[in-house]
Structure 1
Amino acid sequence: MRRAAVVALSVAATLLLAGCTSTDKLAVDYGSGAGTSYTDDSGAPVIVKASDRAKAISFTSKDETGTTVSMAGFLGKVVVVNFWYAGCAPCRAEAPILNSLHSKYASQGVAFLGVNTVDQAATARSFEEQYKVQYPSAMDVDSGSVRIAFAGAIAPTATPTTYVIDTKGRIAARIVGQLESASILNTLISDALAEGK
Structure 2
Amino acid sequence: MPRPQRRARIGARFASATAAGLAAVLLLAGCSSDPLAEQYREGSGKNYIAGDGSVAEFAADQRGEPVSFEGTTVDGGTFDSADSLGEVTVVNFWYAGCAPCRVEAPILQQVHEDFGDDVTFVGVNVRDQAGTARPFEEDFGITYPSILDVDEGRVQYAFAGKVPAAAVPTTLVLDQEGRVAARILGQIEDDSILSSIVGDLVAEGA
How far is the alpha carbon of 1:104 from its aligned partner?
Answer: 0.2
Residue in 2 aligned with 1:26?
none
Alignment counterpart, residue 155 of structure 1, candidates 142, 154, 163: 163
Residues 1:126 and 2:135 are matched in the alignment: yes
- Contact 2:163/2:170 (CA < 8 Å) preserved in 1? no
Provide the TM-score with structure 1 as the length reference: 0.76
Whole-angstrom distance in 2 between the partners of 1:103 and 1:156: 28
The counterpart of 1:74, out of the listed 84, 88, 106, is 84
Aligned counterpart, 1:166: 175
Separation (CA, whole Å) in 1 of partners of 2:195 and 2:53: 14
Q: Which amino acid aligns with 1:56?
A: P
1:111 to 97, 115, 120: 120
- Quote how far apart the aligned CAs of 1:42 are: 2.9
TM-superposed CA distance for 1:139, in Å, is 0.4
Map 1:6-85 onto structure 2 (within 5 A): 41-85=51-95
TM-score, length-scaled by structure 2: 0.73
1:192 matches 2:172: no
Shift of 1:66: 1.6
Q: In 2, are the aligned partners of 1:95 and 1:133 still within 8 Å (CA)?
A: yes
> AA paired with 1:155?
V
Unmatched 5+ residue regions in structure 1?
1-40
Verify: 1:86 aligned to 2:80, yes or no. Answer: no
Greater mean alpha carbon deviation, residues 112-121 or residues 59-68: 59-68
Q: Which runs of 5+ in 2 are unaligned?
A: 1-50
Give a deviation string over 1:109-134, Cα, whole Å, max 9, x none.
10100000000011111100011001
The 2-side partners of 1:149 and 1:85 are apart by: 18
SS of equivalent residue, structure 1 residue 61: strand
Task: Select the structure of larger CA radius of gyration.
Answer: 1
Deviation at 1:94, TM superposition (A): 0.3
1:139 aligns with 2:148: yes
**What's the offset of the Cα at 1:51?**
0.9
- For 1:11, the equivalent position in structure 2 comes to none
Whose RCO is larger (CA < 8 A, sep 6+)? 2
Aligned partners of 1:44 and 1:186: how far apart in 2? 16
What root-mean-square deviation, in Å, do the aligned CA atoms of Structure 1 and Structure 2 show? 1.0
1:177 aligned residue: 186
For residues 24-61 of structure 1, give each alpha carbon's deviation from its aligned partner in whole angstroms, at most 9, with x where no partner exists.
xxxxxxxxxxxxxxxxx431211111011111111121
Identical aligned residues as a percent: 51
Q: Distance in 2 between matches of 1:195 and 1:156?
A: 27
CA gap 1:195/1:156 in 2 versus in 1, 3 angstroms = farther
Partner AA of 2:189 in structure 1: E
